[in-house]
Amino acid sequence: MVQQLYLEDLKVGDKWISGEVSLSEAEIKDFAKDYDPQPYHLDNERARDTFFGTLVASGWQTAGVTMRLMVQTIPIATGLIGAGAQISWPAPTYPNDILHIEAEVVDIKASKSKPDRGMVVVQINTFNQNQQIVQRFTCTMLAFKRTAGIPPLNNEHLLGSQV
């Protein structure tokens, strides 16, 4: 069983690696229809004449997959409550790419005004099957101490491996 962690359990350098998720061509097109209807996400023929030259996933779909992998991997007891982020997509995600994340705590700051919580900065890199980074995501998350009295989400069934 993966231990769910409160603020006082976390330390700079903590790392987690997720399982893998594959994105099919159909999934890319379905997402694009609803959320990012651009030719390079929707149509193989029209994608050939674009910057990408082929069908690619929306960066927002890559971000959504990353979020799912974060929830399944980063064991913060009270959930992943975002407070801010920086995101970039240094390479596209293609149909049938197999993605995973590697996450590392890079900073922790206890709140001065609310002693039951703090902010945790996590660097999350999303890789494809060739170990190429397709997304860089630096996320600041709210984390609580045990003394806050917030019970864990009891989502152990979602959590992947800890490194």
Reported as a pLDDT band with limits 50, 70 and 90, residue 156 is low
Beta-carbon contacts of 59 under 8 Å, excluding residues fewer than 6 positions away, are 87, 89, 93, 135
Reported as a pLDDT band with limits 50, 70 and 90, residue 157 is low
Beta-carbon contacts of 17 under 8 Å, excluding residues fewer than 6 positions away, are 73, 100, 101, 102, 103, 160, 161, 163
> What confidence tens digit (pLDDT) does each residue in 14-73 have?
999 999 999 999 999 999 999 999 999 999 999 999 999 999 999 999 999 999 999 999
d(CA 64, CA 67): 5
The separation between CA 23 and the C-alpha centre of its own chain, rounded to angstroms, equals 15
